[in-house]
Structure 1
Amino acid sequence: MGCHVRKTLSWFLLLGVMVFLVFLGIGRFTAPPAAALIVQQEESANQMLYQSRQTLKDRNELSWQAIAFKRIYPNGEVSFKLRLVGFPGAVEVEHPHPLTLRTSLEQTFTATDVTQEISPDSPLASNVGQYDLQPILPQLSEVIPLQLSLPTTSGSTVVLDISPDVIQEWQAVAAYT
C-alpha cells in the first residue's frame, strides 16, 4: 500500500473513532455540569437550613427559581420543601393545589401545597408556590428526569423539566445533617 493510501485510511479511521465517541457521549464538547452549591445556615439555636438554588426555564422560556431546602428544627423534626418562584406579573400560581411530579417512566407523584407556611399572616405572593417534597424525594431516581406541573390561576399549567443533575442536588441537600 502506498503512503498516500495509508494516510487516507488513518484519517478515515480517526474520523470514525471521533464520530463513534461523540455518539456515545464520551466526546461531548460541552463543559461538565458545575458542582452543586449547597448553602448551610443556622437560623436559630439548633435550627439548621440547607438549600440549593437552580434557575429553570418553563416550556414558554420563562425563568423560575427553584429553591430546595431542608430544615432541621430544634426538636429534631426535619422538613424538605421546594419553593418555585416565577417572575412577578408573568404568572399566578393557583393555591392551594398540589404540584404534580411525573417521571419519564410515567410514575406520578403529588406534593402538597404548603405555600401558606412562607408567611402565614400575610397575603401570598401570586408568583410563588411551596411544596412538601419530604415524602416524595426518597422515591425519585437520580437518573430519571422529571416534569413538574404547576397549575395557574389562568387555567394553564406551567411545566418545568428537571434534569437528573438537579434531582441529585436535591437529594444531596436532603442528605445533609
Structure 2
Amino acid sequence: MMANDIENHLRRKFDADLQARVRRTQELSYLRVIGGHYFAAASSQCLELYRDGYMLGCIMCSQALLEAVLKFVAQRNSMEYKKEVEDLIRNLEAKKILNDKALNAAKLAWRHRNDFHHLNPGISVIDLETKAKECVEATCTLEEEIFGASFVAGALSPRNPIYWDIDSDGTVPVCLRQLDV
C-alpha cells in the first residue's frame, strides 16, 4: 500500500469518528495535573483510549491502572500492598484511607476484571463503551481523591501531600494532561 493511500484511509476513519470523539471528550471530567509517578503515562493513555474509541484497550488499561494506584496508595500509607485488589480495597476501606466515592468507583471498575484480563467469552455481552466509561471515570474519581489540589499564587497546593513527591525546594514532578483545547 502506498503512503498516500494509508494517509487517506486514516483521514477518512478519523473524520468518521470525530463527532463521537468530541462527545466522549466532553463527557470526561479529569484532573489536568496529577503526580508524576510511574503510572501517570498509563493514566493519560486511558483517557485517550476512551476518547479515541478503543474501548477494550481502555477497560484493560484502566483496570491495570486501578490496581497500580491502589497499591501506590497502600504503599504511601505504610500498608501491605502485595495483595489481591479485592483485599486492598477492603483494607483501604477498613482503615478509611479513601473516601466512599473513590472506593465505590474502584469496586465498580474492578467488576469483570478477570473476564477482560483473560478475554473470557462473557465480555461479548457487556456494552464495551459503557464499561470503558465506567472504568475511566473510576480512575478519575480515584485520582481526584489522591491528587486533588488547588493553586495558590501559582503554586500547587495538594490536599493529600502524602501522594506527591515534594522535593526539598518545594517543587514537585507532575504530569500535565489536556485532551481538549
State the TM-score, normalized to the length of structure 1. Answer: 0.30
More strand per residue: 1 or 2? 1
More helix per residue: 1 or 2? 2
Q: Quick one: higher RCO (CA 8 Å, sep 6+), 1 or 2?
A: 2
- Which entry has the higher C-alpha Rg, 1 or 2? 1
State the TM-score, normalized to the length of structure 2. Answer: 0.29
